[in-house]
Amino acid sequence: MTGQYGIGAIERRSFRDKASRLLGQWGVFFKGFLEEPKMVGSIIPSSRFTINKMLGPVKWDECKVFVEYGPGVGTFCQEVLDRLPRDGQLIVIDTNPLYIDYLKKHFRDSRFSAVHGSAADVEEIVKAHGHEHADYVLSGLPFSTLPEGVGPAIAAATYRVIRPGGAFLVYQFSAKARDFMARHFERIDSGFEALNVLPCQLFWGWKEPKA
């Protein structure tokens, strides 16, 4: 008797807990978008198809430092942590303290660090975490709507911080980011993901190894 009633109650609580977490995440994401719409690429988190395609070319066995700009509520974070080696580190950078506070509470992995700051300061942030370079940098920042001068500054700093052989991974609704990337990265691979709201452009800017 306890069994059926107990199981039903547990299932209902589990459903409510999951719904609460989901609504909480979406609430934080949407609030952040309303606060800084020019710094958030979309009010809808990226689809699993975009995530898998974007992270596909990463050589995870060679990745020790992975950086993400504009993580929002962490749509990519767990996916990166699941692939990252045990001695790796994921550093996420966002200008919105709302997102940073949420991420610090949500991700308890010792490899995870959330920083309130600008992506243009990525070199200093990476060094402050004890590293000279990053292996890969991921960005969903909306380059087409960033304040004047910010996009070029981020692209230049990203190129400098990435080690030779590493890459700048960018997903966007427009191809504007490629213009900033092309000033620095020797090779840029392009892709497209239709199964996303909205469909998005994907770019991988590779920093070629030194001869």
Q: How far apart are CA 60 and CA 84, in angstroms?
A: 6
Mean pLDDT of all residues in 180-190: 95
For 17, the enclosing helix (H) or strand (E) is: helix 2-35
Identify the CATH number of the domain defined by range 35-206: 3.40.50.150
pTM of the entire predicted model: 0.82
Q: In Å, what is the CA distance from 124 to each residue of 128, 196, 202, 206?
A: 6, 33, 27, 21
Mean pLDDT of all residues in 102-109: 94
Mean per-residue pLDDT over the chain, rounded: 85
Tokens of 33: 């978008």
Quote the pLDDT of residue 179. Answer: 92
Mean pLDDT of all residues in 70-80: 93
Tokens of 78: 């767990």
Task: Name the pLDDT band for 183 (thresholds 50, 70, 90).
Answer: very high
21-46 confidence digits (pLDDT tens): 544 565 555 555 555 555 554 556 78
Mean pLDDT of all residues in 95-102: 91
Task: Name the pLDDT band for 146 (thresholds 50, 70, 90).
Answer: confident
Q: How far apart are CA 87 and CA 106, in angstroms?
A: 20
Q: How far apart are CA 59 and CA 136, in angstroms?
A: 9
Collapsed DSSP state (helix, strand, coil) of residue 179: helix
If we measure between CA atoms, which residue out of 98, 183, 81, 195 comes closest to residue 138?
81
Q: Select the more confidently predicted residue: 31 or 103.
A: 103
Mean pLDDT of all residues in 152-165: 97
| Beta bridge mates, 187 | 206
Quote the pLDDT of residue 143. Answer: 87
